[in-house]
Amino acid sequence: MTSQVGHSLYVIPAGTPEKERLGKQYAFKRALSQWNSPIPPSLDVSGIANVLDIGAGTCVWTFDFANLPEVRSRLNIPGKEPSKGTNPVQLYACDIETKFFPDRALLDEFGVKTFQQDVTTPFPPKYHGKFDIVHLSFLFLCLTREGWTKALRNINQVLKPGGILFMDEVDPILYPNIAAIPDEDAPGHDLKTQLTRPDWLGKGNRMYTAHSIESGFVTDLTYRLPSMLNAAGFEVKESHRVYGLLGKHAADRPDLADFVEFSIENFVFVFRHLAKNLLAKDKLFTPDGTAVKTEEELEDMLREVEQGARREGAALIDTFFVAIKKS
């Protein structure tokens, strides 16, 4: 049975550069997070049977999860069934865009079943109540407010009672440093200030934040998710705020030495796509409200952001949530 598949709002095409970027981004995020694992220490995987990664992209998390020793030995792989007495684990991954998925041979090595699914439409009934763990990561540049409401309900529907949603999302706003970011219990971001600041960060936000506003995405997602999860039938058990660090701030942390260059390239790559999208709609502006009209001006803006990040650094929020389906 195939589900109805809608139109993706994600503007970065599923080509090799994006697939490679997603792999490196995952490694960087893993280095930034507090646990050196695809899951937080509180998640007990001993009794699980079915796991689903939604908006899985290249399945980078699924493979990392599959390699956990307590999962690897139990994987349900056709022809290599786990020994009798062990409870098998079946991995699933879905995405609205199947071009992100890796080759079938690699998926088969871990027994990963894949399917196409728009998370904002209900999953086929055969998946309802099936999963012990659902993972979701980095759909903040993909879903509108209404999309999130539908997505969280649909995710709730595919979990078993007591099943776990493990997710992490970002607010698309660059700050000069961690101290400048509003606290977790603040009402949210002061978008006007961050979009009109006259420095290179204002220019970055005129691409990153403005693209989200223009697309109807939720710019203060990490602040809103606790109540959105609650409304969708979840109880939030844990949340962990991690700070994404760019350029100089990453360079100041010896443990992030391998990621300093990537921290800049990553944002330049993403911002170029978002800014081109805005330019095509005549919606790209500098912080003082002047319209950016040509690709050359756009490239000048990007260069300033790149140099600023190298020189001064930037920070942003990524929050991890562990939420349980209320029975």
Ligand X SMILES: C[S@@+](CC[C@H](N)C(=O)[O-])C[C@H]1O[C@@H](n2cnc3c(N)ncnc32)[C@H](O)[C@@H]1O
Q: Residues interacting with ligand X, by CB under 6 A?
A: 8, 10, 22, 26, 55-57, 60, 95-97, 100, 118-120, 137-139, 142
217 versus 234: smaller Cβ distance to ligand X = 217
> What Å distances lie between residue 314 and 141, 180, 204, 246, 310, CA to CA?
19, 10, 10, 5, 9
Min dist CB 25 to ligand X, Å, is 6
Cβ closest to ligand X, residue 119 vs residue 251: 119
Per residue, what are the HEC states of 100-154?
A: HCCCHHHHHHCCCEEEECCCCCCCCHHHCCCEEEEEEECCCCCCEHHHHHHHHHH
Nearest CB to ligand X, comparing residues 142 and 195: 142
CB of 264 to ligand X, least distance (A): 18
User: Using CA atoms, how far apart are residues 10 and 215, in angstroms rounded to an integer?
Assistant: 10
Would you put residue 43 in left (φ > 0), alpha (ψ -120 to 50) or beta?
beta
The smaller minimum CB distance to ligand X, of residues 196 and 213, is found at 213
CB of 83 to ligand X, least distance (A): 32
Nearer to ligand X, 74 or 319 (CB): 319
Q: Is the dihedral of CA 65, 68, 71, 76 positive or negative?
A: positive
CB of 164 to ligand X, least distance (A): 17
Using an 8 Å Cβ cutoff, are 152 and 167 in contact?
no
Residue whose C-beta lies closest to ligand X: 57
Contact 50, 131 (CB under 8 A): yes
